[in-house]
Amino acid sequence: MTTQRPNILIITTDQQRTDSLSCYGSTFTDTPHLDNFAAEGVCFERAYCTNPVCTPARASIFTGKYVSRHGAWNVGMNVPEDEPMISHRLSEAGYRTHYIGKAHFQPFGASPEQSLETRNNTDRYPDFSGPYYGFETIELALGHATYGIAGHYGEWVKSQVSQETYESYTKARRLSKVGFGGGAHDWDIPLKYHNSVWTADRTIDFLNTHSNDQPFLLAVGFQDPHHPHCVPTEFEDRVDPADVLLPDFVEGELNDKPPHFMEARCGQLSKSKTRGKFAMAGQGGGADFRKVPEQDARLGRAYYYNMVKIIDQQMGRVLECLDERGLRDNTLVLFTTDHGELLGDHGLWMKGPFHYEQLIRVPTLLRYPAVIPPGLRSHQLFSHVDIVPTVLAAADLPIPSNTDGVDVLPMLTGGKEAVRDSVLVECIDDPEGLRLKTIVTESRKLTWYCGHPYGELYDLENDPSERVNQWDNPTYADDKAQLLSTILQGMEPLEKRVERTSYA
């Protein structure tokens, strides 16, 4: 079957900040391949995730629904298998669908009976190849860095080296004086066995062997730059820690924030009144961030950006393969991440229920030469839930009415100036504990905490660093009331409910 429908390539990284790419203004690292890619399409300056935690955010990317609607509200749980993803819809339309790398639709730490992505028992690999959430075939990588050599990726590494050598790859040398999630590690794994290289290798193999008589949806998930910040010792093109900016933190800036901010900074979340059944996602280590010295912070940040540089190099290989195969013009390529990373800014590291821009504003690049002109920089609001309807529109397929996102192609081709006036970001640490919803507009950001009198309100125009919480400032009372009303009115249709089929 010959078709003119575009191929779809969706590439995600894990826990990547916008300032890790030089096309977003980084002055201390360079990412030439992704910079060139951005110049060939559109760079979204104000793209937002739906949740600052992996599984919920990834489910939104592939379902086009907010977290309250797809139901996977945290890590450690399965995305509902009856929740249609873009893979289901494109497969039904005749697309070949394949997933490579990190998916995290199911837990890494559960039992084999509970999760197909568990690292506790990988006997099913490499024989298990799908179907999986609408993808006909899969090649999965589970976890991150030293604890991420598992799944199809892990079985491949095991086939290349001895058991003793494989086990040595599960360890790395800590360079930081203090143990914390954002610390730097030297890792004695050859680059050829590194996850980012394997992910690119498998992507290139797919592109080289795919028959052009059928369009494809290829989803690719890089494990990095999620902590731990482990960099192969043989990687040479490194960021100099001396060039890296220190974390952006002003002593006392957390005083007007909800209590869990300071509890996280001081390593006291385990004693918090808001603690749920499990440790807070992204903060499970319980480190006291006040004790992280300047050199450790510089090293941790530099090694994070080194991980991004490795991804950039591998992205260059993937993009070159698209060109060589003649797939460039008719392939929609989207590059994004699930959520950002704090990296010590605001006195915090990693992720969690802290909806700062560093954590919820995400790098998002889109190239589709057949439709989108090159060199665009969009300053309009964009949400991850907009990916599914945009892809479906590009494939000339109907957009389901229960999709929360909008097609942004009219905004990129001159038909509309903007397609939305706000984005929603949610975080549920525990249904009986900390639950928050954030609405971001052109110049304001408000966060509502269910069951608590406190909240957050920021004037992004005059306070882009989000230092001063205006929640209790009467000058902003009208903004607060309007934004709260928008959140509360929008929540009712979003909450996931089982369909009622009879009177009783």
Tokens of 269: 């979340």
Instruction: Using the predicted structure, report yes or no on whether residue 91 has a pLDDT greater than 80.
Output: yes
Summary mean pLDDT of the chain: 94
Q: How many CB atoms lie within 10 A of CB 110?
A: 17
Nearest residue to 454 (alpha-carbon basis) of 446, 462, 442: 446
Sign of the torsion formed by the C-alpha atoms of 464, 467, 472 and 474: negative
> All domains of the chain, ordered by start, with CATH?
7-248+291-416 (3.40.720.10)
Residues 6+ apart with CB under 8 A from 284: 278
Is there a contact between 18 and 363 (Cβ–Cβ < 8 Å)?
A: yes
pLDDT value, residue 322? 98
Tokens of 393: 């529109």
Reported confidence tier of residue 307, pLDDT bands at 50, 70, 90: very high
pLDDT value, residue 503? 40
Residues 6+ apart with CB under 8 A from 220: 9, 10, 11, 12, 99, 100, 101, 199, 203, 318
Instruction: Using the predicted structure, report yes or no on whether residue 142 has a pLDDT greater than 80.
Output: yes
Cα-based angle 87, 92, 93 (whole degrees, multiple of 5): 100
- Stretch among 68-82, 152-166, 460-474 having the lowest mean pLDDT: 68-82
Mean pLDDT of 22-46: 95
Reported confidence tier of residue 501, pLDDT bands at 50, 70, 90: very low
Highest mean pLDDT among 9-13, 210-214, 268-272, 414-418: 9-13
pLDDT value, residue 270? 86
Beta strands in 54-202 (DSSP E): 96-101, 137-140, 173-174, 184-187
Mean pLDDT of 227-233: 97
Residues 6+ apart with CB under 8 A from 218: 7, 8, 9, 10, 98, 99, 100, 203, 206, 207
Strand-pairing partners, residue 98, are 137, 218
Mean pLDDT of 20-31: 92
Residue range 310-332, pLDDT digits in tens: 999 999 999 999 999 999 999 99
Tell which wins on pLDDT, 51 or 431. Answer: 51
- Beta pairing, strands 331-337 & 364-367: antiparallel
As a whole-number percent, the residues of the chain with pLDDT over 70 amount to 96
> How far is 497 from 266, CA to CA, in rounded Å?
38
Instruction: Using the predicted structure, report yes or no on whether residue 32 has a pLDDT greater than 70.
Output: yes
Instruction: Using the predicted structure, report yes or no on whether residue 403 has a pLDDT greater than 70.
Output: yes
> How far is 265 from 351, CA to CA, in rounded Å?
12
Nearest residue to 139 (alpha-carbon basis) of 198, 226, 58: 198
Single pTM value for the model:
0.95
Instruction: Using the predicted structure, report yes or no on whether residue 145 has a pLDDT greater than 50.
Output: yes
Instruction: Using the predicted structure, report yes or no on whether residue 486 has a pLDDT greater than 50.
Output: yes
The torsion angle over the Cα atoms of residues 281, 26, 378 and 360, rounded to 10 degrees, is 10
pLDDT value, residue 102? 98
Nearest residue to 180 (alpha-carbon basis) of 343, 358, 13: 343
Residue range 345-380, pLDDT digits in tens: 999 999 999 999 999 999 999 999 999 999 999 999
pLDDT value, residue 493? 61
> How far is 81 from 379, CA to CA, in rounded Å?
35
pLDDT value, residue 284? 78
> How far is 470 from 57, CA to CA, in rounded Å?
28
pLDDT value, residue 98? 99
Q: How many CB atoms lie within 10 A of CB 210?
A: 17
Residues 6+ apart with CB under 8 A from 149: 143, 157, 166, 169, 170, 195
Sign of the torsion formed by the C-alpha atoms of 221, 227, 228 and 231: positive
Omega within 30 of 0 (cis) for the link into 131 = yes
